[in-house]
Structure 1
Amino acid sequence: MSSFPLAVLGAALLAGCTPSLNWREVGLPPTGAAALLPCKPDHAQRSVPLGGVPTELAVSGCEAGGATFALMAARLPAGRAPDEVLAGWQQATLANMQAGGEVRRSDFRPPRGLPLAHAQRLAAEGRQAGGQPVAAQAAWTARAAEGGGTELLHAVMYAPRPQPEAADAFFAGIRWP
């Protein structure tokens, strides 16, 4: 193998590990999920209407390297359709950021994740509430919860322009135990 591909690979790996991104593991109650965030997160909990039903949502997030990183976790009781909730959550996220143009989608299923149609990773560009441009990389996943129901996880990274290396590192750090 020539040294050029090795140099390119090394540069790509280092881009996700810049000094401004100090990755650390964060647990995501009420789910059993864990993820990596590149900075010390703030935590909040609030009730939001997921699928039209008030649902407790745990949020962890921080800002680093010119981007905002957020993780959201919720638990649905048995009988709720997780794929429908993920689909609505995606639509709300895209509407909130005033997404325009192409939305690039791919499957997103960490080990133990459910094979749902809307367990996806997407990339989109839009506008913040103040009109400034924003690029988003986001992912949604779910798994069957112990004792019944479903655990949901949403991860999102917002930045003025795409940062694919940081987004790849962020999403690679999501795991179900």
Structure 2
Amino acid sequence: MTFLRSSLRLAAAPLAAAVVLAACSPSLNWRQWRPEGAPLLTLFPCKPSGPTRNVPLAGAPSAVTVVSCDAQGMTFGLTFADVGDPARVGPALEALASVAAGNVGAPVPAAPASAALPGATPNPRAGRLSLAGRRPDGGTIQVQLVLFAHGTQVFQATVLGSRLDAEAVDTFFGALQLGG
């Protein structure tokens, strides 16, 4: 499921990383992952994969990459694109949130909750959102997402599922590290 359509460096010492990883369920196989062409290093609990496609984003075509994987009944995903113009960053973050909410039939919260991410470019449309909605089959779905930017690059980290494991969600979002 794509998150547009259906919606660096780790600063921690190895010991701190081991503590974080040990806190999560053993069925999640956390591994470092760095997207090509983006100043981001993060952890995924499974091997992510997905396409890059040219789609309209904030009023102009953009090469949008969407990667995801499924683990422990949840889908972990990352969507990112370089919108090329600082004036398009806010509208692109807003569009990502709107598409994610629309995919599950949920309203977009008026303002995202604060989600401090060192190295992120400040933007009022960046932050963490919680959505509750319905799957196409009518079942319930929960969605947690973090929207952020680095220069003209926009990112959406997402976890979705019928039930979300709070530790896994916090590990996934907490591992997001921007850097050169």
TM-score higher than 0.5: yes
| Cα contact 2:97–2:108 (8 A) shared by 1 | no
| Cα contact 1:86–1:118 (8 A) shared by 2 | yes
Supply the AA of the counterpart residue of 1:30. Answer: G
Q: Which runs of 5+ in 2 are unaligned?
A: 1-19
Question: 59, 67, 72: which one pairs with 1:65?
Answer: 72
- Where does residue 5 of structure 1 map in the other structure? none
Q: For the residues of structure 2 that align with 1:56 and 1:101, how far apart are their CA atoms? A: 24
Q: For residue 100 of structure 1, report the CA deviation from its aligned partner.
A: 5.7
Q: 1:66 to 1:82 in 2, by over 3 A?
A: same
Q: 1:46 to 1:18 in 2, by over 3 A?
A: same
Q: Is 1:163 the equivalent of 2:165? A: yes
| Cα contact 2:82–2:154 (8 A) shared by 1 | yes
- Where does residue 32 of structure 1 map in the other structure? 39
What do the CA deviations read for 1:87-116 (whole angstroms, capped 9, x no partner)?
A: 121111101111169789411231110111
Larger RCO of the pair (alpha carbons < 8 Å, separation 6+) = 2
Map residues 89-128 of structure 1 onto 2, 5 A cutoff.
Answer: 89-99=96-106, 105-128=112-135
Tell me the number of residue pairs that the alignment of Structure 1 and Structure 2 aligns.
160
- Where does residue 7 of structure 1 map in the other structure? none
Q: For the residues of structure 2 that align with 1:16 and 1:41, how far apart are their CA atoms? A: 21
Q: 1:126 to 1:15 in 2, by over 3 A?
A: farther
| Cα contact 1:106–1:120 (8 A) shared by 2 | yes
SS in 1 for 2:177: coil
Q: 1:72 to 1:101 in 2, by over 3 A?
A: closer
SS in 1 for 2:66: strand
- Where does residue 10 of structure 2 map in the other structure? none
| Cα contact 2:92–2:154 (8 A) shared by 1 | no
SS in 2 for 1:84: helix
Question: 40, 53, 57: which one pairs with 1:46?
Answer: 53
| Cα contact 1:103–1:124 (8 A) shared by 2 | no
Q: For the residues of structure 1 that align with 2:111 and 2:141, how far apart are their CA atoms? A: 15
Supply the AA of the counterpart residue of 2:124. Answer: A
Report which of the two has the higher share of strand: 1
Q: Which runs of 5+ in 1 are unaligned?
A: 1-12, 145-149
Q: Is 1:174 the equivalent of 2:147? A: no
What do the CA deviations read for 1:7-30 (whole angstroms, capped 9, x no partner)?
A: xxxxxx678521111111111233
| Cα contact 2:147–2:155 (8 A) shared by 1 | yes
| Cα contact 1:104–1:124 (8 A) shared by 2 | no
Which deviates more from structure 2 when the two are superposed, residues 26-35 or residues 63-72? 26-35
TM-score by length of 2: 0.80
Q: For residue 134 of structure 1, report the CA deviation from its aligned partner.
A: 0.4
Runs of 4+ in 1 over 6 A off after TM superposition: 101-104
Which deviates more from structure 2 when the two are superposed, residues 125-134 or residues 101-110? 101-110
Q: 1:131 to 1:100 in 2, by over 3 A?
A: farther
Q: Is 1:56 the equivalent of 2:63? A: yes
